[in-house]
Structures are given as C-alpha cells and as structure tokens.
Structure 1
Amino acid sequence: MPSSLHDVIDQTLSLYDGLFTQVRIDRRLASDLPSVRLDADQMKRVLINLVDNAIEATDKKGTVVISTEFDRTHGRVRLGVADDGPGIPAEDREKLFVPHFSTKKRGSGLGLAIVNRIVQEHQGVIRVEDNRPRGARFVVELPA
C-alpha cells in the first residue's frame, strides 16, 4: 500500500533522539515527494542499518544527512543517507552488498546484504557514491 517515505524517516530518526551527543542528523527532504508503495517496517530496517553505519563511520562525532528527492522524469523517489566519515575505498564498494563481507572488525557482514534484498523486494536499487567533500553516500531509488 502507498506510504509516506517521510513518515518512515520521521519514525526511524525519532529512535536516535538524544542517543549521540556529538552526531548531528540533518534532514533535507523534498516537498514534492509522492507516496511510495512500501512496507514501512522493512524500510525502517533499511534506514536504521544505513544510519547506524553512517554514525559508526563518523566515529560517533560527525554529521549524517538524510535526503529525499523526486525524479519526475524517471518516476523514481530517492532516499540518501550521507556521512562525513572517511569514505569507502573503491575496491570495497562492489563487495559491500555481498553477504558476509565487512570492513568492520566486528559484525556479520549481513547488514547491507539484507538492506539490498529489502530494496530489491521493493523493485528498487541501492548504490554507494562519494559524499563530497568527504564521506560516503548511500542512495536508495524506489519506483514512485
């Protein structure tokens, strides 16, 4: 059923209120975002994983930016989660969504694989790109 991605973002980010004193979470949300066919609980899982990773990448003292945009031309809604951490080396990017691959000392390497599967179940795609001037930006594209 059609749902508001912004409601999912609001509900998810409320979980972080007061948790990290040195992390700022900014929202840059599009005013023209249409409703999207999504499973709200599953999309919360996607967002929690991406935000947790972004916070960890900043060493719990940086800025995480959550953004949305509507690409009318292609009928796609984009959700971005960006951090100002050290970024992700090019050689690791293609393996990020492979089960059991991890750049962390601890962790199962399943988080982004699960995120990728959920996004695919929503007929979407996920990619990672550089966040200028530093950090990484994950972009989820879903059909509008």
Structure 2
Amino acid sequence: MKKVLVLAVVLVFAFASMAMAAGTSTITVQAVVDPACSVSGNFTIDFGNLDPVAAPVVNVAIVGPPTVSCNGATVTVVNTFAGPMTGPGAATIAYTPGTIIADATVVATGVPVDLITGTATIAAGAYTGADAGAYSDTFTIDITP
C-alpha cells in the first residue's frame, strides 16, 4: 500500500510540474514568391502578296499579338529585331514590325500587356523589282523578371 501511495504522490507531482511548466512559443511561417512572367504563344505578321510593280506602302494592323503578364517583377525586355525579311537568292525587303514593348510598359500587376502594338509596315518602293518568292524573318522578344 505504501508503494501505491508513493507512486500516487510521484504521479501527482509529475503532472503538477507539467502543468506549472506552461509557456508560449512564437512560430514563424514564411514563403518567398519568385518574380515571374508568362508569355502567351507565338505570332505571325503576314504582309500577304506584294505587287512589285506598283509597290505601295503596306500596313498591317497588329491584332491579337502575344501578351506578357508579370507578378510584381522588375522586367527587362530584350528584342532581337534586326530585319529585313530575306527571300530567294538572299534578296531582302525591309520592314518595321510595329511598336515593340518597352521595359516600363510591363506593369507587374499580373494584367496582360501586348508585346507588339500598332502597325507593321513595308515602305513604298521597298520591294520594287524584288525577286519573286517567299520572304521571311524571325525575331524574338525575351522578357526577364
């Protein structure tokens, strides 16, 4: 019986000391969201069929271009446009692709912004006497958050 009584007293003190040892703790929870941008698809500027005899100015409105949206990042835009379009036998036709997005234009709010706006243009006479055939050019616009 003494052993049971001693055991009971020990248990009471053990639980009492646990109850008296109460305290608080601060737990910090954190995460970092990396800056990011997303760009929608590719785009083609199509000047269509050109008449090299009359060779008028050709304007193509930029409709439905790819867009970029960013999440709060400071954005750098690098565009590799160098033109011109190249065709048969290395013949060329100069053009302007419209207004290419500038760094400050990408407002980092998640709202999509057009990468190219305005009008793509081939100047009058730029293809007078041009060799017949397909002409093309490719350039990229790199968005870096």
- TM-score band, normalised by shorter chain: under 0.3
Larger RCO of the pair (alpha carbons < 8 Å, separation 6+)? 2
Tell me which structure has the larger Cα radius of gyration. 2
Larger helix percent: 1
Larger strand percent: 1
Give TM-score scaled by structure 1 length.
0.26
Give TM-score scaled by structure 2 length.
0.26
